[in-house]
Amino acid sequence: MGCCDTQGLLPIEDAIQTMLADVSPLKISQKLPLETALGHVLAEDVRSPIDVPPFDNSAMDGYAVRTQDLTTTDTLPLAGKAFAGQPFSGEWPEKTCIRIMTGAPVPTGCDAVIMQEKTEATPEGIHFLTSQVKAQANIRPQGDDFKQNEVVLPAGSRLTVRDLPLLASLGISQVLVLRKPKVAIFSTGDELKPVGEKLDAGQIYDSNRYAIRPILENFGCDVIDLGIIPDNQTQLTETFQQAQSLADVVITSGGVSVGEADYTKTILESLGTINFWKIAIKPGKPFAFGKLNHSLFCGLPGNPVSAVVTLYVLVQPMLAKLAGHTQWQAPAQIQATSKVSFKKSPGRTDYQRGVFSVENGQIVVDNAGNQSSGAFRAMSTANCFIVLEQQRGSVEAGETVTIEPFNPALY
Ligand code: AMP
Ligand code: MG
Protein backbone atom coordinates (compact mmCIF):
# COMPACT_ATOMS: atom_id res chain seq x y z
CA MET A 1 0.00 0.00 0.00
CA GLY A 2 1.24 3.44 -0.85
CA CYS A 3 1.19 5.45 2.34
CA CYS A 4 0.05 8.90 2.79
CA ASP A 5 0.23 12.05 0.76
CA THR A 6 1.85 15.21 2.06
CA GLN A 7 -1.06 15.98 4.37
CA GLY A 8 -1.08 12.51 5.93
CA LEU A 9 -4.32 11.50 4.22
CA LEU A 10 -4.75 8.06 2.68
CA PRO A 11 -5.60 8.23 -1.05
CA ILE A 12 -8.99 6.68 -1.88
CA GLU A 13 -7.55 4.06 -4.22
CA ASP A 14 -5.13 2.82 -1.53
CA ALA A 15 -8.00 2.44 0.95
CA ILE A 16 -10.09 0.51 -1.59
CA GLN A 17 -7.19 -1.79 -2.49
CA THR A 18 -6.41 -2.49 1.19
CA MET A 19 -10.05 -3.37 1.82
CA LEU A 20 -10.26 -5.59 -1.26
CA ALA A 21 -7.10 -7.44 -0.24
CA ASP A 22 -8.68 -8.30 3.12
CA VAL A 23 -11.84 -9.84 1.68
CA SER A 24 -12.58 -13.18 0.02
CA PRO A 25 -15.86 -13.96 -1.72
CA LEU A 26 -18.54 -15.90 0.17
CA LYS A 27 -18.71 -19.41 -1.25
CA ILE A 28 -22.07 -20.68 0.05
CA SER A 29 -24.58 -21.33 -2.71
CA GLN A 30 -28.25 -22.22 -2.84
CA LYS A 31 -30.85 -23.01 -5.51
CA LEU A 32 -33.55 -20.37 -5.84
CA PRO A 33 -36.69 -20.27 -7.97
CA LEU A 34 -36.48 -17.63 -10.69
CA GLU A 35 -39.26 -15.64 -9.00
CA THR A 36 -37.08 -14.86 -5.96
CA ALA A 37 -33.66 -14.72 -7.63
CA LEU A 38 -33.63 -10.99 -8.46
CA GLY A 39 -30.53 -9.27 -7.06
CA HIS A 40 -28.68 -12.52 -6.31
CA VAL A 41 -25.28 -13.34 -7.75
CA LEU A 42 -24.97 -16.43 -9.94
CA ALA A 43 -22.76 -19.15 -8.42
CA GLU A 44 -22.17 -20.83 -11.79
CA ASP A 45 -22.39 -20.08 -15.50
CA VAL A 46 -25.93 -20.43 -16.81
CA ARG A 47 -25.98 -22.28 -20.13
CA SER A 48 -28.91 -22.46 -22.47
CA PRO A 49 -30.64 -25.87 -22.37
CA ILE A 50 -32.25 -25.19 -25.78
CA ASP A 51 -31.85 -23.19 -28.96
CA VAL A 52 -33.68 -19.84 -28.70
CA PRO A 53 -35.83 -19.40 -30.64
CA PRO A 54 -36.39 -23.17 -30.69
CA PHE A 55 -37.53 -23.17 -34.37
CA ASP A 56 -37.37 -20.91 -37.44
CA ASN A 57 -40.32 -18.54 -37.16
CA SER A 58 -41.86 -15.55 -38.85
CA ALA A 59 -40.91 -12.03 -37.80
CA MET A 60 -43.97 -10.56 -39.56
CA ASP A 61 -47.60 -11.09 -40.36
CA GLY A 62 -47.57 -12.02 -44.07
CA TYR A 63 -47.09 -14.94 -46.42
CA ALA A 64 -44.58 -17.78 -46.37
CA VAL A 65 -43.12 -18.46 -49.84
CA ARG A 66 -40.45 -20.39 -51.66
CA THR A 67 -38.58 -17.58 -53.42
CA GLN A 68 -37.91 -19.94 -56.35
CA ASP A 69 -41.68 -19.88 -57.10
CA LEU A 70 -41.62 -16.11 -57.55
CA THR A 71 -39.10 -16.17 -60.41
CA THR A 72 -41.85 -17.13 -62.89
CA THR A 73 -44.97 -15.50 -61.38
CA ASP A 74 -45.92 -12.78 -58.91
CA THR A 75 -49.17 -14.34 -57.74
CA LEU A 76 -49.46 -17.51 -55.66
CA PRO A 77 -52.69 -19.23 -54.53
CA LEU A 78 -53.12 -19.68 -50.78
CA ALA A 79 -52.52 -23.24 -49.51
CA GLY A 80 -53.04 -22.88 -45.76
CA LYS A 81 -52.33 -21.03 -42.54
CA ALA A 82 -49.60 -21.01 -39.86
CA PHE A 83 -50.33 -19.24 -36.56
CA ALA A 84 -48.19 -18.93 -33.43
CA GLY A 85 -48.78 -22.15 -31.53
CA GLN A 86 -50.58 -23.69 -34.55
CA PRO A 87 -48.01 -24.67 -37.18
CA PHE A 88 -48.98 -25.48 -40.77
CA SER A 89 -48.94 -29.26 -40.93
CA GLY A 90 -50.27 -30.31 -44.33
CA GLU A 91 -48.59 -30.86 -47.69
CA TRP A 92 -47.42 -27.60 -49.24
CA PRO A 93 -48.02 -27.74 -53.01
CA GLU A 94 -45.52 -26.06 -55.35
CA LYS A 95 -46.26 -22.48 -56.46
CA THR A 96 -48.57 -21.72 -53.55
CA CYS A 97 -48.10 -19.60 -50.43
CA ILE A 98 -49.11 -19.92 -46.79
CA ARG A 99 -50.67 -17.23 -44.62
CA ILE A 100 -48.34 -16.84 -41.65
CA MET A 101 -48.48 -14.77 -38.46
CA THR A 102 -45.65 -13.40 -36.29
CA GLY A 103 -44.06 -16.14 -34.17
CA ALA A 104 -45.52 -19.01 -36.19
CA PRO A 105 -43.05 -21.73 -37.25
CA VAL A 106 -42.18 -21.30 -40.94
CA PRO A 107 -43.32 -24.31 -42.98
CA THR A 108 -40.60 -26.70 -44.23
CA GLY A 109 -39.20 -25.41 -47.52
CA CYS A 110 -40.15 -21.77 -46.87
CA ASP A 111 -37.20 -19.44 -47.42
CA ALA A 112 -38.86 -16.05 -46.99
CA VAL A 113 -41.85 -14.35 -45.47
CA ILE A 114 -43.31 -11.42 -47.40
CA MET A 115 -44.97 -8.88 -45.21
CA GLN A 116 -48.70 -8.38 -45.59
CA GLU A 117 -48.28 -4.70 -46.55
CA LYS A 118 -46.43 -5.75 -49.73
CA THR A 119 -49.27 -7.98 -50.98
CA GLU A 120 -52.84 -7.76 -52.17
CA ALA A 121 -55.51 -10.45 -52.34
CA THR A 122 -56.78 -11.15 -55.89
CA PRO A 123 -59.18 -13.82 -57.26
CA GLU A 124 -56.11 -15.72 -58.55
CA GLY A 125 -54.34 -15.73 -55.18
CA ILE A 126 -51.99 -13.46 -53.28
CA HIS A 127 -50.35 -10.90 -55.54
CA PHE A 128 -46.86 -9.91 -54.40
CA LEU A 129 -46.11 -6.24 -55.04
CA THR A 130 -42.43 -6.71 -54.48
CA SER A 131 -40.40 -8.34 -57.19
CA GLN A 132 -37.14 -8.92 -55.33
CA VAL A 133 -37.42 -11.05 -52.22
CA LYS A 134 -34.25 -11.73 -50.29
CA ALA A 135 -33.76 -15.30 -49.16
CA GLN A 136 -34.48 -15.67 -45.43
CA ALA A 137 -36.31 -12.32 -45.35
CA ASN A 138 -38.43 -11.91 -42.20
CA ILE A 139 -37.45 -15.32 -40.83
CA ARG A 140 -36.03 -15.47 -37.31
CA PRO A 141 -33.77 -18.51 -37.48
CA GLN A 142 -33.62 -21.21 -34.80
CA GLY A 143 -30.87 -20.38 -32.28
CA ASP A 144 -30.72 -16.73 -33.41
CA ASP A 145 -30.51 -15.44 -29.82
CA PHE A 146 -28.86 -18.44 -28.13
CA LYS A 147 -27.50 -21.79 -29.25
CA GLN A 148 -28.04 -24.79 -26.99
CA ASN A 149 -25.29 -24.98 -24.31
CA GLU A 150 -24.07 -21.43 -24.98
CA VAL A 151 -23.22 -19.42 -21.82
CA VAL A 152 -26.11 -17.03 -21.28
CA LEU A 153 -24.88 -15.36 -18.07
CA PRO A 154 -21.47 -15.96 -16.50
CA ALA A 155 -20.94 -16.90 -12.85
CA GLY A 156 -20.56 -13.71 -10.81
CA SER A 157 -23.35 -11.82 -12.61
CA ARG A 158 -25.95 -10.19 -10.42
CA LEU A 159 -29.45 -10.92 -11.73
CA THR A 160 -31.35 -7.87 -12.96
CA VAL A 161 -34.97 -7.41 -14.02
CA ARG A 162 -33.66 -7.81 -17.57
CA ASP A 163 -31.99 -11.15 -16.89
CA LEU A 164 -35.07 -12.86 -15.46
CA PRO A 165 -37.15 -12.88 -18.69
CA LEU A 166 -34.04 -13.98 -20.55
CA LEU A 167 -33.69 -17.01 -18.29
CA ALA A 168 -37.42 -17.65 -18.51
CA SER A 169 -37.18 -17.66 -22.32
CA LEU A 170 -34.82 -20.61 -21.92
CA GLY A 171 -37.28 -22.47 -19.70
CA ILE A 172 -34.99 -22.14 -16.65
CA SER A 173 -37.01 -22.25 -13.42
CA GLN A 174 -34.20 -22.35 -10.82
CA VAL A 175 -30.74 -20.84 -10.53
CA LEU A 176 -27.76 -21.59 -8.30
CA VAL A 177 -26.87 -18.34 -6.51
CA LEU A 178 -24.46 -17.27 -3.79
CA ARG A 179 -25.69 -16.38 -0.34
CA LYS A 180 -25.98 -12.60 0.04
CA PRO A 181 -23.56 -10.94 2.46
CA LYS A 182 -25.20 -10.28 5.83
CA VAL A 183 -24.52 -6.78 7.09
CA ALA A 184 -25.40 -5.60 10.59
CA ILE A 185 -25.82 -1.83 10.90
CA PHE A 186 -26.31 0.62 13.72
CA SER A 187 -26.10 4.34 14.32
CA THR A 188 -24.09 5.68 17.23
CA GLY A 189 -24.62 8.93 19.06
CA ASP A 190 -26.25 10.24 22.24
CA GLU A 191 -27.94 12.95 20.18
CA LEU A 192 -29.86 10.59 17.90
CA LYS A 193 -33.61 10.12 18.10
CA PRO A 194 -35.70 7.72 16.04
CA VAL A 195 -38.10 9.29 13.53
CA GLY A 196 -41.65 9.58 14.82
CA GLU A 197 -40.57 10.81 18.26
CA LYS A 198 -40.30 14.37 19.50
CA LEU A 199 -36.84 15.94 19.60
CA ASP A 200 -35.53 17.13 22.95
CA ALA A 201 -32.97 19.93 23.21
CA GLY A 202 -29.76 19.12 21.35
CA GLN A 203 -31.19 16.09 19.60
CA ILE A 204 -31.45 15.28 15.89
CA TYR A 205 -33.15 12.51 14.00
CA ASP A 206 -31.19 9.41 13.05
CA SER A 207 -31.39 9.73 9.28
CA ASN A 208 -28.34 7.63 8.38
CA ARG A 209 -29.98 4.25 8.74
CA TYR A 210 -32.58 5.40 6.18
CA ALA A 211 -29.77 5.72 3.64
CA ILE A 212 -27.44 2.94 4.71
CA ARG A 213 -30.01 0.15 4.83
CA PRO A 214 -31.53 0.59 1.35
CA ILE A 215 -28.17 1.32 -0.25
CA LEU A 216 -26.80 -1.94 1.19
CA GLU A 217 -29.88 -3.77 -0.05
CA ASN A 218 -29.33 -2.22 -3.48
CA PHE A 219 -25.74 -3.47 -3.31
CA GLY A 220 -27.19 -6.97 -2.85
CA CYS A 221 -26.80 -7.45 0.92
CA ASP A 222 -29.18 -8.73 3.60
CA VAL A 223 -29.34 -6.10 6.32
CA ILE A 224 -29.76 -6.62 10.06
CA ASP A 225 -30.70 -3.27 11.60
CA LEU A 226 -29.66 -2.93 15.26
CA GLY A 227 -30.99 0.60 15.65
CA ILE A 228 -29.47 3.51 17.54
CA ILE A 229 -26.82 2.89 20.19
CA PRO A 230 -25.85 5.72 22.55
CA ASP A 231 -22.21 6.68 23.16
CA ASN A 232 -21.99 4.27 26.04
CA GLN A 233 -19.10 1.87 26.43
CA THR A 234 -21.10 -1.09 27.75
CA GLN A 235 -23.92 -0.79 25.26
CA LEU A 236 -21.56 -0.28 22.34
CA THR A 237 -19.45 -3.29 23.34
CA GLU A 238 -22.53 -5.49 23.65
CA THR A 239 -23.88 -4.31 20.32
CA PHE A 240 -20.57 -4.88 18.52
CA GLN A 241 -20.49 -8.43 19.99
CA GLN A 242 -24.04 -9.12 18.90
CA ALA A 243 -23.48 -7.59 15.45
CA GLN A 244 -20.38 -9.62 14.66
CA SER A 245 -22.09 -12.83 15.74
CA LEU A 246 -24.95 -12.16 13.31
CA ALA A 247 -23.24 -10.76 10.24
CA ASP A 248 -20.37 -10.99 7.77
CA VAL A 249 -19.85 -7.23 8.00
CA VAL A 250 -20.66 -4.69 10.69
CA ILE A 251 -21.24 -1.13 9.47
CA THR A 252 -21.72 1.74 11.89
CA SER A 253 -22.13 5.45 11.40
CA GLY A 254 -20.74 8.10 13.71
CA GLY A 255 -18.07 7.93 16.35
CA VAL A 256 -15.00 7.59 14.15
CA SER A 257 -14.04 11.25 13.85
CA VAL A 258 -11.15 12.78 15.76
CA GLY A 259 -13.17 13.74 18.80
CA GLU A 260 -14.59 10.29 19.38
CA ALA A 261 -12.14 7.95 17.72
CA ASP A 262 -10.22 7.10 20.86
CA TYR A 263 -13.37 6.06 22.63
CA THR A 264 -14.63 3.76 19.87
CA LYS A 265 -11.03 2.75 19.30
CA THR A 266 -10.69 1.23 22.78
CA ILE A 267 -13.77 -0.92 22.26
CA LEU A 268 -12.84 -1.98 18.74
CA GLU A 269 -9.24 -2.77 19.69
CA SER A 270 -10.47 -5.33 22.20
CA LEU A 271 -12.67 -6.95 19.55
CA GLY A 272 -10.33 -7.04 16.56
CA THR A 273 -7.88 -5.13 14.41
CA ILE A 274 -9.17 -1.87 13.03
CA ASN A 275 -7.46 0.88 11.01
CA PHE A 276 -8.71 4.36 11.77
CA TRP A 277 -8.03 6.16 8.55
CA LYS A 278 -8.08 9.76 7.50
CA ILE A 279 -8.96 9.41 3.83
CA ALA A 280 -8.20 12.00 1.15
CA ILE A 281 -11.89 12.32 0.34
CA LYS A 282 -14.34 15.15 0.88
CA PRO A 283 -16.80 14.65 2.40
CA GLY A 284 -15.91 11.63 4.50
CA LYS A 285 -12.38 12.05 5.83
CA PRO A 286 -12.70 9.90 9.00
CA PHE A 287 -13.33 6.26 8.14
CA ALA A 288 -12.48 3.01 9.89
CA PHE A 289 -11.96 -0.42 8.42
CA GLY A 290 -10.74 -3.72 9.77
CA LYS A 291 -11.58 -7.09 11.18
CA LEU A 292 -13.49 -7.94 14.33
CA ASN A 293 -13.04 -11.49 15.61
CA HIS A 294 -15.94 -12.83 13.55
CA SER A 295 -16.66 -10.22 10.89
CA LEU A 296 -15.40 -7.30 8.89
CA PHE A 297 -15.99 -3.78 10.15
CA CYS A 298 -16.57 -0.45 8.41
CA GLY A 299 -17.02 2.69 10.48
CA LEU A 300 -18.64 5.44 8.44
CA PRO A 301 -18.48 9.07 9.51
CA GLY A 302 -21.65 10.39 11.15
CA ASN A 303 -22.36 13.32 8.86
CA PRO A 304 -25.16 12.08 6.59
CA VAL A 305 -23.57 13.03 3.26
CA SER A 306 -20.17 11.68 4.37
CA ALA A 307 -21.77 8.39 5.41
CA VAL A 308 -23.37 7.95 1.98
CA VAL A 309 -20.27 9.02 0.03
CA THR A 310 -17.92 6.69 1.93
CA LEU A 311 -20.38 3.79 1.75
CA TYR A 312 -20.73 4.32 -2.00
CA VAL A 313 -17.12 5.05 -2.88
CA LEU A 314 -15.11 2.96 -0.40
CA VAL A 315 -17.36 0.15 0.82
CA GLN A 316 -19.24 -0.69 -2.39
CA PRO A 317 -16.27 -2.38 -4.17
CA MET A 318 -15.46 -4.44 -1.06
CA LEU A 319 -19.05 -5.67 -0.70
CA ALA A 320 -19.18 -6.55 -4.41
CA LYS A 321 -16.11 -8.73 -3.92
CA LEU A 322 -17.55 -10.33 -0.78
CA ALA A 323 -20.79 -11.06 -2.65
CA GLY A 324 -18.85 -12.84 -5.41
CA HIS A 325 -20.15 -10.21 -7.83
CA THR A 326 -17.17 -10.47 -10.17
CA GLN A 327 -19.05 -8.74 -12.98
CA TRP A 328 -19.50 -5.60 -10.82
CA GLN A 329 -18.36 -2.41 -12.47
CA ALA A 330 -17.33 0.78 -10.74
CA PRO A 331 -19.62 3.74 -11.55
CA ALA A 332 -18.71 5.11 -14.97
CA GLN A 333 -16.99 8.47 -15.10
CA ILE A 334 -17.66 10.90 -17.94
CA GLN A 335 -16.57 14.41 -18.80
CA ALA A 336 -18.95 17.34 -18.51
CA THR A 337 -18.77 21.11 -18.75
CA SER A 338 -19.31 22.78 -15.41
CA LYS A 339 -21.94 25.52 -15.46
CA VAL A 340 -20.64 26.96 -12.22
CA SER A 341 -17.43 27.50 -10.31
CA PHE A 342 -16.35 25.32 -7.37
CA LYS A 343 -13.99 26.35 -4.61
CA LYS A 344 -11.42 23.69 -3.81
CA SER A 345 -7.88 23.36 -2.54
CA PRO A 346 -5.59 20.49 -3.59
CA GLY A 347 -5.26 17.57 -1.15
CA ARG A 348 -8.52 15.62 -1.17
CA THR A 349 -10.73 14.17 -3.90
CA ASP A 350 -13.97 16.08 -3.73
CA TYR A 351 -17.30 14.31 -4.31
CA GLN A 352 -19.54 17.33 -4.90
CA ARG A 353 -23.21 16.69 -5.50
CA GLY A 354 -24.24 17.70 -9.02
CA VAL A 355 -27.10 17.67 -11.48
CA PHE A 356 -26.08 16.78 -15.01
CA SER A 357 -28.12 17.21 -18.15
CA VAL A 358 -27.65 17.51 -21.89
CA GLU A 359 -27.82 21.00 -23.42
CA ASN A 360 -27.34 21.44 -27.17
CA GLY A 361 -25.84 17.96 -27.36
CA GLN A 362 -23.25 18.71 -24.64
CA ILE A 363 -23.17 17.17 -21.16
CA VAL A 364 -23.27 19.97 -18.62
CA VAL A 365 -23.33 19.83 -14.86
CA ASP A 366 -24.70 22.20 -12.25
CA ASN A 367 -24.19 22.46 -8.52
CA ALA A 368 -26.95 20.52 -6.72
CA GLY A 369 -26.96 22.96 -3.78
CA ASN A 370 -25.47 23.32 -0.32
CA GLN A 371 -22.29 21.20 -0.30
CA SER A 372 -21.99 20.91 3.49
CA SER A 373 -21.47 17.30 4.58
CA GLY A 374 -24.32 17.68 7.04
CA ALA A 375 -26.83 19.07 4.54
CA PHE A 376 -28.64 16.25 2.78
CA ARG A 377 -30.87 18.34 0.52
CA ALA A 378 -28.34 18.51 -2.35
CA MET A 379 -27.80 14.73 -2.13
CA SER A 380 -31.51 14.31 -2.73
CA THR A 381 -31.55 16.80 -5.64
CA ALA A 382 -28.38 15.46 -7.28
CA ASN A 383 -28.12 12.81 -10.00
CA CYS A 384 -24.31 12.58 -10.03
CA PHE A 385 -21.11 13.22 -8.15
CA ILE A 386 -18.79 15.83 -9.55
CA VAL A 387 -15.43 14.22 -8.85
CA LEU A 388 -12.79 16.91 -8.43
CA GLU A 389 -9.43 15.19 -8.48
CA GLN A 390 -7.18 15.14 -5.41
CA GLN A 391 -4.60 17.61 -6.72
CA ARG A 392 -7.06 19.91 -8.45
CA GLY A 393 -7.68 23.43 -7.24
CA SER A 394 -10.75 25.59 -7.76
CA VAL A 395 -12.85 25.13 -10.88
CA GLU A 396 -14.12 28.01 -13.03
CA ALA A 397 -17.45 27.89 -14.86
CA GLY A 398 -16.90 26.46 -18.34
CA GLU A 399 -14.11 24.07 -17.29
CA THR A 400 -14.32 20.36 -18.00
CA VAL A 401 -14.95 18.21 -14.93
CA THR A 402 -15.36 14.50 -14.30
CA ILE A 403 -18.82 13.39 -13.27
CA GLU A 404 -20.06 10.04 -11.99
CA PRO A 405 -23.78 9.54 -12.68
CA PHE A 406 -25.27 7.70 -9.68
CA ASN A 407 -25.51 3.97 -10.19
CA PRO A 408 -28.75 2.14 -9.27
CA ALA A 409 -27.63 1.77 -5.64
CA LEU A 410 -28.62 5.40 -4.99
CA TYR A 411 -32.14 5.02 -6.42
P1 AMP B 1 -19.72 11.87 14.53
O2 AMP B 1 -19.08 11.20 13.34
O3 AMP B 1 -20.32 10.90 15.49
O4 AMP B 1 -18.79 12.84 15.16
O5 AMP B 1 -20.94 12.71 13.95
C6 AMP B 1 -20.71 13.76 13.01
C7 AMP B 1 -21.99 14.51 12.76
O8 AMP B 1 -22.95 13.64 12.17
C9 AMP B 1 -22.64 15.06 14.00
O10 AMP B 1 -23.22 16.31 13.68
C11 AMP B 1 -23.71 14.04 14.32
O12 AMP B 1 -24.78 14.57 15.07
C13 AMP B 1 -24.16 13.63 12.93
N14 AMP B 1 -24.70 12.29 12.93
C15 AMP B 1 -24.11 11.21 13.47
N16 AMP B 1 -24.87 10.11 13.29
C17 AMP B 1 -25.96 10.52 12.62
C18 AMP B 1 -27.13 9.84 12.15
N19 AMP B 1 -27.29 8.55 12.34
N20 AMP B 1 -28.06 10.56 11.49
C21 AMP B 1 -27.89 11.88 11.29
N22 AMP B 1 -26.81 12.57 11.70
C23 AMP B 1 -25.86 11.91 12.37
MG1 MG C 1 -21.18 10.84 17.33
Point out the ligand 1 atom lying closest to the alpha carbon of residue 286: 2
The pLDDT value recorded for residue 384 is: 98
> What separation in Å is there between the alpha carbon of 11 and the centre of ligand 1?
23
Provide Rg for the chain, Cα atoms.
30
Which residues, in sequence order, are CB contacts of 139 under 8 Å at separation 6+?
56, 57, 58, 59, 106, 110, 111, 112, 113
- Does 57-140 match 30-50+146-178 at the fold level? no
The pLDDT value recorded for residue 8 is: 85
The pLDDT value recorded for residue 3 is: 44
Q: What residue ranges of the chain have pLDDT lower than 70?
A: 1-7
The pLDDT value recorded for residue 183 is: 99
pTM higher than 0.85 for the full model? yes
Residues 12-28+180-322: name the CATH superfamily.
MoaB/Mog-like domain (3.40.980.10)
The pLDDT value recorded for residue 7 is: 65
Ion ligand 2: residues, CB < 5 A: 189, 254-255, 302
Residues 30-50+146-178: name the CATH superfamily.
Molybdopterin biosynthesis moea protein, domain 2 (3.90.105.10)
The pLDDT value recorded for residue 132 is: 83
CATH topology of domain 334-410: Beta-clip (2.40.340)
Phi and psi angles of residue 203, each rounded to the nearest 5 degrees, phi first:
-100, 155
What is the SS3 assignment for 233? helix
CATH class given for the domain over 57-140: mainly beta
> What separation in Å is there between the alpha carbon of 226 and the centre of ligand 2?
16
Q: Where are the domains of the chain?
A: 12-28+180-322, 30-50+146-178, 57-140, 334-410
